[in-house]
């Protein structure tokens, strides 16, 4: 199927697939770019990933796998920048990427991630003579609609650029039917360009670990009831809703599950994080709700340790205001852990209510508390949902998802060559 695809340019301008996960701008997209590239590379197809150089210590090129290389492109100051701060340097990124690619390199397709990469892909489309496939991962207009406060100073610039990228791109990948609907409704996108292909999961890494072994690996005492959150620490993730739900459970007599409830928050800088307004706000809320004994902010964790956390937990909670897909939920499901998730975006499709977990309205701590109570007090139901969750997650193995992505690349390449012949 992938016979006509020999080399792919993967653009991830503002964040590297090699970056530590759980930071302010690292998460599901980083995992997507890294793991899809590895899967494609395992088939003998070369993948060159272009990302911004954000540290002077980085080499020019890093090898991710035998057929996968990461180019650290000089672009603006060699330090961490927010996406809006990267925008003025995009022309430099495009120019430097063209220089860093091998001489006479030909790419069959340019796969761009996020709105910044979409702008760069348009600049490189002609010199590299390749079609552009775009994936946004999150949409500016959706984030603006659900945000309780401004989440991006350059929100208008982002939306304007997204509209341009939609017009420029040859194909668009939406992670879910919900994202496809958002593209059609909010952006008036060309429906003929859009294909729905979900992200995948590494089912070799993310698989169940016996609970006792998992808890020993991460230092959680036997007998604790573990509620887990994994994600970036930002307002749209709804961690405050989780804290309020736990406070409601703690007010009940007797406390559901007893006094052995542990809530583990993975992401961000942890208990000692400084300079992070959202972490500071959440720690203050934890103090206000008197949850210090049961809620722990452990900071970011690498992918190698996450399967133990998922397997150790009774439930993963994703109380987000907005998720384009929810890759964390898929990882937990692959480990046999049920998920309670806000009925928003991709989570409404990924989590099957009453089968692999529960849906709850977003920003509703009472509904969330009720569903947490159900899962920590009904072990048979929890086990049943965990088994179903693992079965559903197996359908998202990267080998299957990569087949669909490569088939789309082939169609885009054929159409591109056809247009070239007609020109």
**Three-class SS of 37-73:** HHHHHCCCCEEEEEEECCCCCCCCEEEEECCEEEEEE
Q: Which CATH architecture has domain 7-200+397-422?
A: 3-Layer(aba) Sandwich (3.40)
Residue 3 has pLDDT above 50, yes or no: no
Mean pLDDT of the chain: 91
The confidence score (pLDDT) of residue 150 equals 47
Can you tell me the mean pLDDT for 49-71? Answer: 94
Evaluated on CA atoms 47, 69, 10, 232, the torsion sign reads positive
Return all residues near 118 (Cβ < 8 A) that are at least 6 apart: 112, 132, 134, 136, 161, 162, 164, 165, 168, 169
CATH code reported for the domain at 211-394: 3.40.50.2000
The confidence score (pLDDT) of residue 252 equals 86
Strands 61-65 and 68-73: antiparallel
Q: b/e per residue, 381-409, with b = 16+ CB within 10 A?
A: ebeebbebbbebbeebbbeebbebbbebb
CB 110 within 8 A of CB 128: yes
Strands 61-65 and 46-52: unpaired
**How many CB atoms are located within 10 Å of the residue 34 CB?**
24
Residue 161 has pLDDT above 80, yes or no: yes
Residue 184 has pLDDT above 60, yes or no: yes
* 242 closest CA partner among 192, 166, 297: 297
Query: How far from the centroid of its chain's Cα atoms is residue 408's Cα?
Result: 21
**Residue 272: pLDDT band by 50, 70, 90 thresholds?**
confident
Strands 225-230 and 194-196: unpaired
Query: What's the rounded Cα separation, in Å, for the pair 349 and 92?
Result: 39
Query: How far from the centroid of its chain's Cα atoms is residue 77's Cα?
Result: 26
Q: What's the chain's Rg over C-alpha atoms?
A: 22
The confidence score (pLDDT) of residue 273 equals 64
* 256 closest CA partner among 309, 171, 175, 315: 315
The number of CA neighbours under 13 Å toward the Cβ of 295 is 24
Quick check: pTM over 0.85? yes
**Residue 20: pLDDT band by 50, 70, 90 thresholds?**
low
The confidence score (pLDDT) of residue 256 equals 77
| Helices within 252-293 (DSSP H only) | 277-288
Q: Which one is predicted more confidently, 318 or 25?
A: 318
Residue 21 has pLDDT above 70, yes or no: no
Query: What's the rounded Cα separation, in Å, for the pair 196 and 396?
Result: 13
- Largest separation between any pair of C-alpha atoms in the chain: 75
Find the length of the chain.
423
Percent of the chain with pLDDT over 70: 92
The confidence score (pLDDT) of residue 268 equals 86
Strands 339-342 and 315-318: parallel
Q: Where in the chain is the domain with CATH 3.40.50.2000?
A: 7-200+397-422, 211-394
The confidence score (pLDDT) of residue 420 equals 61
Return all residues near 138 (Cβ < 8 A) that are at least 6 apart: 114, 322, 324
Residue 81 has pLDDT above 50, yes or no: yes
The confidence score (pLDDT) of residue 423 equals 52
The confidence score (pLDDT) of residue 128 equals 95
Strands 109-113 and 7-11: parallel
Query: What's the rounded Cα separation, in Å, for the pair 388 and 341?
Result: 16
Can you tell me the mean pLDDT for 229-235? Answer: 92
Residue 274 has pLDDT above 70, yes or no: no
The confidence score (pLDDT) of residue 25 equals 55
The confidence score (pLDDT) of residue 2 equals 43
């Amino acid at each position: 199927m992938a016979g006509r695809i020999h080399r792919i340019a993967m653009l991830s301008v503002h964040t590297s697939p090699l970056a530590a996960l759980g930071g302010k701008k690292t998460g599901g997209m980083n995992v997507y770019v890294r793991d899809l590239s590895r899967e494609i590379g395992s088939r003998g197809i070369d993948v060159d990933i272009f990302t911004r150089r954000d540290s002077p210590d980085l080499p020019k090129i890093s090898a991710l796998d035998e057929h996968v290389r990461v180019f650290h492109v000089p672009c603006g100051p060699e330090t961490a920048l927010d996406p809006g701060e990267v925008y003025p340097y995009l022309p430099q990124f495009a120019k430097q990427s063209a220089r860093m690619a091998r001489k006479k390199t030909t790419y069959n397709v340019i796969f761009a991630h996020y709105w910044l990469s979409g702008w760069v892909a348009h600049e490189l489309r002609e010199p590299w003579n390749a079609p552009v496939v775009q994936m946004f991962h999150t949409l500016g207009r959706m984030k603006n609609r659900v945000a309780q406060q401004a989440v991006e100073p350059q929100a208008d610039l982002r939306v304007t650029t997204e509209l341009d990228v939609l017009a420029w791109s040859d194909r668009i990948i939406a992670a879910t039917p919900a994202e496809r609907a958002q593209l059609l409704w909010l952006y008036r996108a060309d429906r003929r360009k859009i294909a729905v292909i979900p992200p995948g999961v590494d089912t070799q890494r993310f698989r169940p670990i016996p609970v006792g072994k998992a808890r020993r690996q991460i230092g959680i005492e036997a007998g604790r009831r573990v509620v887990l959150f994994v994600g970036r620490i930002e307002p749209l993730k709804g961690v405050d809703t989780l804290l309020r739900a736990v406070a409601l459970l703690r007010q009940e007599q007797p406390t559901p599950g007893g006094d052995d409830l542990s809530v583990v928050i993975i992401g961000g800088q942890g208990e000692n994080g400084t300079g992070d307004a959202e972490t500071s706000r959440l720690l203050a809320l934890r103090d206000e709700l008197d949850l210090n004994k049961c809620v722990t902010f452990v900071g970011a964790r690498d992918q190698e340790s996450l399967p133990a956390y998922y397997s150790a937990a009774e439930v993963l909670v994703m109380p987000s205001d907005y998720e384009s897909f929810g890759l964390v939920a898929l990882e937990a499901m692959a480990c046999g852990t049920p998920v309670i998730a806000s009925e928003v975006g991709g989570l409404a499709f990924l989590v099957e209510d009453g089968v692999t977990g529960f849906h709850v309205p977003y920003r509703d701590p009472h509904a969330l508390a009720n569903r947490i109570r159900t899962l920590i007090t009904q072990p048979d139901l929890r086990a049943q949902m965990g088994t179903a969750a693992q079965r559903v997650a197996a359908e998202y193995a990267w080998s299957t998802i990569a087949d669909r992505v490569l088939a789309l690349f082939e169609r885009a390449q054929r159409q591109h060559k056809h247009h070239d012949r007609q020109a």
